[in-house]
Amino acid sequence: MKVLLSGHLGYIGTVMAPMLLKVGHEVVGIDANLYRRCTFTEGGEIADIPEIIKDLRDLEASDVKGFDAVIHLAALSNDPLSDLNPELTYDINHRASVKLAELAKAAGVPRFLFASSCSNYGKSGDTMIDETGELNPVTAYGQSKVWVERDVSAMASDDFSPTFLRPATAYGVSPRLRFDIVLNNLVAWGMTKGVILLKSDGTPLRPIVHIEDISRAFIAAMEAPREVIHNQAFNVGQTAHNYRIRDIAEIVAEVVPNTKIELASDAGPDTRSYKVNFDKIAKALPAFKPQWDARKGAEQLYAAYSKSGVTLEEFEGARYNRIAHIRKLIADQALDGDLRVRSMETA
């Protein structure tokens, strides 16, 4: 297939693009490339593919013509970043995403795969929730994903098949690494300071999934028969991989030598707590064969961090923390207040 991959220069996209190429697909990327300063050299090579460097809000019909599928990853990428300016989050994550789907449908693209999120479930506590469960987002990020699913689902037709993949919290090494997600962050704290620092009280439930397995899910859905994926939502992960945050910390402590677990001084409860059932994707998409678990992921991260020599100042600073990086770009006048690039030379 000829695939348009939005967000191909982001945390997941830089891993997904080479995996798509490896199984024989032709890939073109679209990305604003806001994180060009954030490359993690031990995370692998960024695939050399045809690309369009453009803000998601500025896409046109000509950008989406001639494709067999659109995989839409691009977004303001997590809850803290989305809270920086909720209205901008809705503009980029919701309205621009719906516009991309409209352009794709008008251009005759038959498949549209949207990277939604298990954050849609918000606060469901200890009750196991599947794709039929109530969506209860507690952040602008989660709300934006829910609205995209609602609006794009209404566009489904005989010629346009949207699919909504809801990954668990991601982890794993990438050329555009993020340290502001739980497993990645805890391994970095353990390696650099000997302390696995919990920024919540450790009680929230969170399913986690490796970014390579997220990529495998998108490939499996894109290649599946239309009747299997048409206007369907799929949680992406494994039911056995629901953890309390403290459980993840204990795994990290077993992988990273000479570490102890501590609560941050301002640690408190996290309103995002959900336990997710992933049986649907396992049954409907047998080609989806996840290969990672938290321990293997912690080992991969620890090896990469050790090789790179990353420091606390680096991983807690602006380079690998999405909201801190965006704030720095604004301070440097590389971005304006609407998060539009002023100059690619400074971005």
Q: pLDDT at residue 1 above 60?
A: yes
Mark out the alpha helices in 174-311 (DSSP H runs).
182-193, 211-223, 226-229, 245-255, 279-284, 294-308
Per cent of the chain over pLDDT 90 is 72
Buried (b) or exposed (e) across 156-178, using 16+ Cβ within 10 A?
A: beeebbbbbbbbbbbbbbbbbbb
pLDDT at 175: 97
Which pLDDT tens digit goes with each residue over 50-82?
999 999 999 999 999 999 999 999 998 765 666
pLDDT at 293: 97
Residues 41 and 19 sit within 8 Å (Cβ to Cβ): no
pLDDT band at 246 (very low <50, low <70, confident <90, very high): very high
Which pLDDT tens digit goes with each residue over 98-112?
999 999 999 999 999
Q: What is the CA radius of gyration of the chain?
A: 19
pLDDT at 344: 56
Decide: residue 115, CB within 10 A, 0-12 exposed, 13-18 middle, 19+ buried: buried
Q: Around Cβ 23, how many Cβ atoms within 10 Å?
A: 11
Q: pLDDT at residue 94 above 80?
A: yes
- Pull the structure tokens for residue 288: 């989806």
Q: What is the DSSP string of 151-186?
A: HHHTT-BTTBEEEEEEE-EEES--TT--SSSHHHHH
Q: How far apart are CA 297 and CA 91, in angstroms?
A: 34
Average pLDDT score, the chain:
92
Q: pLDDT at residue 244 above 70?
A: yes
Which pLDDT tens digit goes with each residue over 20-48?
999 999 999 999 999 998 899 999 999 99
pLDDT at 80: 62
Which pLDDT tens digit goes with each residue over 294-329?
999 999 999 999 999 999 888 888 888 888 888 889
Q: pLDDT at residue 197 above 90?
A: no
**For residue 275, what are the β-bridge partners?**
128
pLDDT band at 115 (very low <50, low <70, confident <90, very high): very high
pLDDT band at 271 (very low <50, low <70, confident <90, very high): low
Which pLDDT tens digit goes with each residue over 130-161?
999 999 888 888 999 999 999 999 999 999 99
